[in-house]
Structure 1
Amino acid sequence: MDVDVVRRAAAAIVWEPDFAEVVRTDAFTLVKYPMWLQQHCQAHRLTSRSPADDVIDAALAQARSWSRDTVWFCGLSSATPNPSLEPRLLERGGHVAETLSVLALDLSEGVPDVPVPDDVSTEPVTTPDLVKAWDAVSDEAFENETPNDEDPDVRARACQEEYDQGRGGVFVTVLDGRPAASGGMTFYPDDRLVLLWGGSSTKAARGRGAYRANLLARLRRAHELGYAHAVVKGRVTTSAPILTRVGFVDLGRERVVALASQPSSSPST
């Protein structure tokens, strides 16, 4: 596995679903998600070497135009081209909202032997009931509130289409007759890379293999379609330890810094 190639590919990936609004500049990619997502306005691809305050001010101004009160600046690490960006965010009142491990797995020789209990079942989301199960798991895990006005039939058809066309998909794992884990995946053919996202389990299912079962189903799907690498950004306190135990390689850590978007005079350093 060429670690540098995988790391660069992972850094460039941004979740841009059809329902999101996206602004791309030379300094960042800003994504406006629905308010029911906890991190509803995210800044990615922070590759500019322009003065940190200029980058921050531009992102906050766009967020305010969207009526978003916070921007989550994602992917900050020792490799960020502008080393003053993260310190400046913190000086201006930001806080580290998340620390993530960037993890990669070589799928060229197959899927790792992941132990999974016999009493769990996992399948792709293709029906309204499975959409509701996905929402139940992810809402609990990520403290979101998926709105009830989204038609589960429409979402189920979209998931089915994405899965059938080999563009990605979502899997739900059931334990004791109840939704226990869920996770999504998006394929990037040019890089032969699959991004795993949204992997989570309910509190009642933790430690019982539901997360591992869901992970294994997604890895098998990616391998069947000929993808060479799987990449995931896992929380250092929850999913990252599980992922490293099954063979993922830790490529380094990233931080997400949240900063309120209200107008303010930038304090001098």
Structure 2
Amino acid sequence: MTARAHTTDDVLRASAAWVWFPRGGDQVREHLQLVRYPARFGGGVRGSQVRSPYDAAAVLAHAIERTRDWEEEHLTFWTNPSDDPDLEDELRRRGAEHVDTVAVFAAPLEELVVDVPPDVQAEVVCTPDQIREVDRINVPVWGQEPLGEAGLRAELDEVEAGLAARDHARVLARLDGLAVSTGGCTVVDGFTRLWGAATVESARGRGAYRAVLAERLRVSAEFGAITALVKGRVSTSAPILHRAGFRHFGDERAYRLVVSGGSSAQTVP
């Protein structure tokens, strides 16, 4: 039986449901989704997915109080058209800084074509040495701390479990034998979420990202995905995604609020 094609509403719901829970962090779901990031990823709290009967001021006050409870100084909130209520105006009113925008792209896997240069090789990550190579790419690109031995083992365990379950994979791309680009994919409800793409600065513009993209699409198809979903930045990956056949389904914006001490009014019950 052929799997049902995803509609625009399916894409928007899948985009709204996408949230990352980093290992070693904390999370709570009450009026909105809040995730405390560990220090290795810069700390702070990420908010998204608002579902509350209360108004925007009360929901944001609730998020601020939870951020203080976690003793964090920054709350970063990602908007989505499905938020209820929408917090964007309230974030601006409180002085939150607009720090990032990503475009939501999606397309059926069977419609995507990626032009990969012949001198770039891509591979699925499955060994400790490959995990170390992934980390050496991610540390400078994302400004995060390098993994210790325990972290490397935990990362390898996650990779192996994902490959065994056929729902999660990481890939590497090489130029002249050197690992220069990486990215991951996770299959959920027929969608493959393409995440974490990073390319070392010296290798950019040579097709490494395209190789990582193509390999993730190949693996995702093997895992049973029918639609690819990715959130790309307009200035970097968006042109490549357009050329590959992805369609634009709207934008999501990030606002960062500095959380000081004290108590917020209008907190929700």
Q: Structure 1 length as normaliser, TM-score?
A: 0.89
Larger mean CA deviation between 152-161 and 88-97 belongs to: 152-161
Q: Tell me the CA shift for residue 111 of structure 1.
A: 5.8
For 1:178, give the aligned amino acid.
L
Structure 1 gaps of 5+ residues are none
For 1:134, give the aligned amino acid.
V
For 1:28, give the aligned amino acid.
L
Partner of 1:136: 136
In 1, Cα distance between equivalents of 2:13 and 2:59: 21
The alignment yields a C-alpha RMSD, in angstroms, of 2.0
User: Paired residue for 2:51, among 47, 50, 55?
Assistant: 47
In 1, Cα distance between equivalents of 2:237 and 2:192: 17
Q: Tell me the CA shift for residue 104 of structure 1.
A: 0.4
In 2, Cα distance between equivalents of 1:152 and 1:170: 14
Partner of 2:66: 62
Encode CA deviations 1:189-227: one digit per residue, 9 max, x unaligned. xx2111111112111111100000000000011112221
- Are residue 168 (structure 1) and residue 168 (structure 2) matched? yes
Q: Tell me the CA shift for residue 266 of structure 1.
A: 6.8
Aligned length: 260
Partner of 2:221: 223
Larger mean CA deviation between 33-42 and 116-125 belongs to: 33-42
Encode CA deviations 1:129-169: one digit per residue, 9 max, x unaligned. 21111112222222222343544234223212211211201
Structure 2 gaps of 5+ residues are 1-5
For 1:247, give the aligned amino acid.
G
Partner of 2:3: none
In 1, Cα distance between equivalents of 2:172 and 2:95: 38
User: Paired residue for 1:32, among 23, 30, 36?
Assistant: 36
Q: Tell me the CA shift for residue 52 of structure 1.
A: 1.8
Q: Tell me the CA shift for residue 125 of structure 1.
A: 1.9
CA pair 160-207 structure 1, distance change in 2 beyond 3 A: same
- Are residue 89 (structure 1) and residue 58 (structure 2) matched? no
Larger mean CA deviation between 126-135 and 34-43 belongs to: 34-43
Q: Tell me the CA shift for residue 19 of structure 1.
A: 3.0
For 1:41, give the aligned amino acid.
V
Q: Structure 2 length as normaliser, TM-score?
A: 0.89
Partner of 2:246: 248
Does the Cα contact within 8 Å between 2:64 and 2:259 map onto a contact in 1?
yes
In the TM superposition, structure 1's runs of 4+ consecutive aligned residues that sit over 4 Å from their partners are 264-267
User: Paired residue for 1:23, among 22, 28, 32?
Assistant: 28
CA pair 193-90 structure 1, distance change in 2 beyond 3 A: same
Secondary structure of the 2:181 match is strand
Counterparts in 2 of 1:173-184, with a 5 A limit? 173-184=173-184
Q: Tell me the CA shift for residue 265 of structure 1.
A: 7.3
For 2:259, give the aligned amino acid.
S
Partner of 1:8: 13
Secondary structure of the 2:41 match is coil
- Are residue 156 (structure 1) and residue 156 (structure 2) matched? yes
Partner of 1:103: 105
Secondary structure of the 2:136 match is helix
